Amino acid sequence: MALFRYDKDLDGRLNFDEFKSLILPSDSNYSDLVMRRPAYCTYKDFARMEFFLDTTSQKLKSCLQLVLNTEMRCERVRQDLARDKNFDLEKAFTAVALSVDDKPTTGDGAAVTKDDISSFLISKNFAATQRQVALFFMRLDKYGTGEPKLQDWKSEMTPRTEV
């Protein structure tokens, strides 16, 4: 369940493209570099995990482990928020979207920007780096519109498992 956000077609499995979005760096230069590397271990005699050196296998395991642990922690917080009588997803969206300017925060025109997220976090005494905000914004802006809407916010902030 922790890999839910990478399962774009919601079939319960990660296809190669979904797996790439999980493993590859978000920076396109590094991602392209990894994808252009030739596959040296494509012989029939190799078992799956023999494709990598031990150090590479360890790094892959560490990456997956961090992703899973982070997702599980996020899910616990989402569930805590869902149980909290004082929390409302739409009001939270409005609070984040209002933190920069007076653009519409309700209805179809409402959207949140990177500046909104950054300003909101600063107002809560957390100075996130531009990279941290950009990575969260990428999660929020699943369709690449540049302005995630309330529905995108809800899909990211709603618990994926039963509360």
Domain that holds residue 23: 4-83
Distance CA(154)–CA(93), nearest Å, equals 9
162 within a domain of the structure (yes/no): no
Last residue of a domain, one of 59, 83, 107: 83
User: Based on the domain organization, do 43 and 107 belong to the same domain?
Assistant: no
Query: Which has more confidence, 42 or 74?
Result: 74
Q: Is the pLDDT of residue 52 over 80?
A: no
**Confidence at residue 1, expressed as pLDDT on a 0 to 100 scale:** 47
Taking residues 83-109, report their average pLDDT.
Answer: 76
With a CB cutoff of 8 Å and minimum separation 6, the contacts of 156 are: 5, 139, 140
Distance CA(109)–CA(133), nearest Å, equals 22
Contact 94, 105 (CB under 8 A): yes
User: Based on the domain organization, do 97 and 52 belong to the same domain?
Assistant: no
Confidence category of residue 3, pLDDT binned at 50, 70, 90: low
Last residue of a domain, one of 32, 56, 83: 83
User: Based on the domain organization, do 79 and 93 belong to the same domain?
Assistant: no
User: How many domains are there within the chain?
Assistant: 2
For residue 7 the two structure tokens come to: 């399962």
Contact 13, 7 (CB under 8 A): yes
Confidence category of residue 40, pLDDT binned at 50, 70, 90: low
